[in-house]
């Protein structure tokens, strides 16, 4: 019989739904040594959180997230709140001896991310940390990672990545994501964070220098929700930057929420001495692979549907027959499975980002902003 871990969730909006679904589904599809039991959800609005708890199967709810730290029955705390409160909540839970899974980016500022990293180091004998970079859990990304590890790409020469969305126009209200005091940054921390994590994950090296960057805010005022008044939007709408990896690979990154025709276009391509891979989340079950060692007459892009259990595609064996495709929610469920594997003392199917890993991504994000604002190249060794 599997052991159980009592899970608490802080936050009950978009990510609260995604995470609640993951914890409710994971043990139905994965045979694991640990069962996730939904114990407590915390949020600010009593009426909303009570209804949320009843709908998503949480046994109890609270408007005081601090009480979770004092509940000895809770083993894992899942943080799905705005970026500015990640540090306070995560550090409190680590000090209480809990395992912590936190939404991305790790924090709203590099200083907060550093504090979280340091707290995780201090608590590492008792507590494990995880960060919800869910796109690592797409089977197609998992296959790209395997191909890179097997040497099928050879030395990586180029990385090009963009994350384009179209929902952030002037008619979008002043949500917390458009306020620096809550989000830290705009499209940069929300979207470029995913790109940097995927690039570091796939290449297997660290970014060592930002060569140049552009930061722009186009929509400076937005309607305050529930009113006719407007407030200041003081985060970036787009950030583009160029970088180098430790092994010499060049990289380009672009994130914006103002690209009509793109809904959730999370795209990354790697070109190496032996081959290339490319992926777009808008076609998330597919990986494109070009084997550069094949004869010229037949060399070209190969479209791979990454849903085959028999083909060894990551996570595919736990889901549906071949080409019965997966969706957005499955990345979270796959990650929940890997978290439970680690907590049970087993190996994850794919490597999981912890606070140290996510801190390295945060350093790259910070360096890119410094480069844009100071109009100069920034070495990562100078960003700590």
| Strand pairing report for 301-305 and 265-272 | unpaired
pLDDT at residue number 2: 73
Q: Are 8 and 71 in contact (CB under 8 A)?
A: yes
What are the tens digits of pLDDT across the range 278-292?
999 999 999 999 999
Is residue 102 over pLDDT 70?
yes
Q: Identify the pLDDT of residue 1.
A: 55
Whether pTM exceeds 0.85: yes
Model pLDDT for residues 323-368, shown as the tens digit of each residue: 999 999 999 999 999 999 999 999 999 999 999 999 999 999 999 9
Residue 111: CB partners within 8 Å, gap ≥ 6? none
d(Cα 277, Cα 266) in Å, to the nearest integer?
14
pLDDT tens for 196-229 read: 999 999 999 999 999 999 999 999 999 999 999 9
Domains of the chain in start order, with CATH, are 3-134 (3.40.50.720), 138-324+351-374 (3.30.360.10)
**Separation CA 224–CA 222 (nearest Å):** 6
């Amino acid at each position: 019989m599997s052991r159980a871990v009592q899970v608490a969730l802080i936050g009950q909006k978009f990510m609260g739904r995604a995470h609640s679904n993951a914890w409710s589904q994971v043990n139905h599809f994965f045979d694991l040594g640990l069962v996730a039991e939904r114990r407590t959800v915390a949020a600010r609005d009593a009426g909303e959180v009570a209804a949320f708890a009843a709908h998503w199967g949480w046994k109890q709810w609270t408007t005081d997230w601090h009480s979770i730290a004092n509940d000895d029955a809770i083993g894992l705390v899942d943080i799905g709140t705005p970026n500015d409160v990640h540090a306070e909540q995560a550090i409190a839970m680590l000090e209480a001896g809990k395992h912590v899974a936190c939404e991305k980016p790790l924090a709203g500022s590099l200083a907060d991310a550093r504090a979280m990293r340091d707290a995780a180091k201090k608590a590492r004998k008792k507590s494990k940390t995880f960060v919800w970079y869910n796109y690592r859990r797409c089977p197609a990304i998992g296959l790209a990672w395997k191909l890179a590890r097997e040497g099928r790409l050879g030395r990586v020469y180029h990385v090009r990545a963009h994350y384009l969305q179209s929902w952030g126009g002037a008619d979008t209200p002043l949500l917390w994501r458009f306020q620096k005091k809550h989000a830290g940054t705009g499209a940069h921390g929300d979207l470029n964070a995913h790109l940097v994590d995927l690039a570091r994950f796939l290449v297997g090296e660290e970014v060592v220098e930002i060569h140049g960057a552009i930061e722009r805010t186009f929509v400076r005022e937005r309607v305050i929700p529930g009113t006719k008044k407007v407030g200041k939007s003081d985060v970036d709408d787009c950030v583009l930057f160029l970088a180098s990896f430790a092994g010499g690979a060049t990289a380009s990154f672009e994130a914006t929420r103002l690209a009509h025709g793109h809904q959730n276009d999370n795209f990354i391509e790697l070109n190496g001495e032996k081959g290339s891979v490319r992926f777009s989340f808008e076609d998330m079950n597919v990986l494109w692979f070009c084997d550069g060692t094949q004869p010229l007459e037949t060399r070209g892009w190969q479209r791979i549907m990454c849903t085959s259990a028999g083909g060894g595609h990551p996570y595919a064996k736990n889901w549906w027959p071949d080409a019965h495709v997966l969706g957005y929610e499955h990345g979270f469920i796959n990650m929940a499975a890997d978290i439970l594997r680690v907590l049970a003392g087993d190996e994850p199917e794919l490597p999981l980002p912890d606070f140290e890993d996510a801190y390295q991504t945060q350093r790259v994000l910070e360096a890119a902003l410094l480069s844009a604002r100071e109009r100069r190249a920034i070495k990562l060794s100078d960003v700590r």
